[in-house]
Amino acid sequence: QVQLVESGGGLVQAGGSLRLSCAASTRTFGFGNVVMAWFRQAPGKEREFVATISQNGISTYYTDSVKGRFTISRDNARNTVYLQMNGLKPEDTAVYSCAARIPSFWTINADPKDYPYWGQGTQVTVSS
């Protein structure tokens, strides 16, 4: 079981920055065994993959629309994953959720159906 709690959302002007945090608590698995990801969902749209990071934090993968602007990172000592968002655009407005999966080995996976653990989400609103 993995429980996830996001924080850090808010209202920001276009071009601004926000850092999202996702604190994880695990009962059975150490956080260092957990692959983490961020997804987002805008009103009236399907959930969209944003970024994922490997268990040791060395490997990352981003959707094209955020490459060069967003950075995913993790601190395994703090059981926390982060999403640093710079150069925000109005089209980045969405509810951002962190998600977790516990695979045998690292692979890039952008399918939300493969992530069994989810946080409640945090709203990010970018004004123009």
Mean pLDDT of 66-87: 98
Q: Which long-range contacts (CB under 8 A, 24 or more apart) does 15-19 make?
A: 15/87, 15/88, 16/88, 16/126, 17/84, 17/85, 17/86, 17/87, 17/88, 18/85, 18/88, 18/124, 19/82, 19/83, 19/84, 19/85
50 burial type by CB count under 10 A (0-12 exposed, 13-18 middle, 19+ buried)? buried
Least confident segment among 20-34, 46-60, 87-101: 20-34
7-34: pLDDT as tens digits: 999 999 999 999 999 999 998 879 999 9
Q: pLDDT higher for 73 or 26?
A: 73
pLDDT of residue 96: 98
Percent of the chain at pLDDT exceeding 70: 100
Assess whether pLDDT exceeds 90 at residue 81.
yes
